[in-house]
Amino acid sequence: MSEFEHSEFKGKVAIVTGAGGGIGRCHAIEFAKRGAKVVVNDLGGAVDGSGAGDAADAVVAEIKELGGDAIANKASVAERDGAKSIVDDALAAYGRVDILVNNAGILRDRTFKNMTLDEFDLVMQVHLTGTAYVTHAAWPHMYEQRYGRIVFTSSGSGIFGNFGQANYGAAKMAMLGLANVLALEGANRNVRVNCLGPGAATRMTNTVPGRDEDLSDPDPMRHPALVSPAVLYMCSEDAPNGAVIHASGGNYSRSEVWVNDPVQLGADATYEDLLPHVDKLIDMSGAHPRQPRAPRPPR
């Protein structure tokens, strides 16, 4: 790890949830290579959220073999006490939390017509509520120390939509709403919150019909390690705030919300008044980025 001896992450404490494999494992290893102390969280279950295992221990052992410093946590992010235990373990072992990468997730893919409400609720609980639970536990510590970097792992399935993933897409887009608010609330305390839109070959992508990639020897352009540079950037000293960064196959880009100029019809507007102006309403040719709201004073 001598090549990263002067890394800005040296001595930082990073939590990565769902880090027992795939993209999360790569994040954890890349932070550790650069001298960060890492809490590797993973329940160790199947892609659908069932079961448990020791995946976190294996990644910790891998990091220690590289000369890094890491501990394992096997709690579920979807349970309040479990989520809090992840942050508590970081504080007990290392005394602070600087970085939180919310990566844990599961899949229960079906078309909405065939999806049960239990399948909808479970995916929302892990992705959205689990992200909120862990972030809520870490937030006051970052807020008081006036430093924090938080990444929410969103997805193109939510940002742009994807057939058969109503539960997953809803959770992933809801993360963006939460991140937008927290980016405002943390700005004056140097707590920056961003969203990741990743693309890589993982256990989760292998559940998609037609996908059956050899994860022991993935296509180099679909390797999950290619996502991690974007995460490290969003957790750096010079990280943006409130950004959505996409990372897949060595390609990195940003997306944001754009709006057009309003059709101004006044306080007495009716449906019939709007009809002659729908072309202007729908036209995005002159659209521009939406101006962010100014942060309110803390309370």
pLDDT in tens, 133-145: 999 999 999 999 9
The kind and range of the H/E element at 150 are strand 148-153
Confidence of residue 47 (pLDDT cuts 50, 70, 90): low
pLDDT at 211: 46
Q: Which residues lie closer than 8 Å to 116 by C-beta, 6 or more apart?
A: none
pTM: 0.88
pLDDT tens per residue, range 212-225: 555 566 666 668 99
Residue 130 and residue 151: Cα distance in Å, rounded?
13
The pLDDT tens digits of the residues spanning 259-289 come to 999 999 999 999 999 999 999 999 999 999 9
- 271 to 182, 261, 268, 277, 284: CA distances (angstroms): 36, 19, 10, 10, 21
In the annotation, is 271 catalytic? no
Q: What are phi and psi of 160, to 5 degrees?
A: -120, -20
Q: Has residue 210 got a pLDDT over 70?
A: no
Bridge-based pairing of strands 148-153 and 191-199 is: parallel
**CATH of the domain spanning 2-257:** 3.40.50.720
The shares of helix, strand and coil residues in the chain, as percent rounded to the nearest 5, are: 40, 15, 40
Domain ranges of the chain: 2-257
CA distance 297 to 299: 7
pLDDT tens figures, 62-110: 999 999 999 999 999 999 999 999 999 999 999 999 999 999 998 788 9
- Per DSSP, the chain holds a count of helices (H) and strands (E) of 10, 10
Looking at residue 48, what is its pLDDT?
A: 57
Catalytic residue among 168, 233, 252, 271: 168
Task: Give the tens place of pLDDT for each residue, 173-201.
Answer: 999 999 999 999 999 999 999 999 999 76
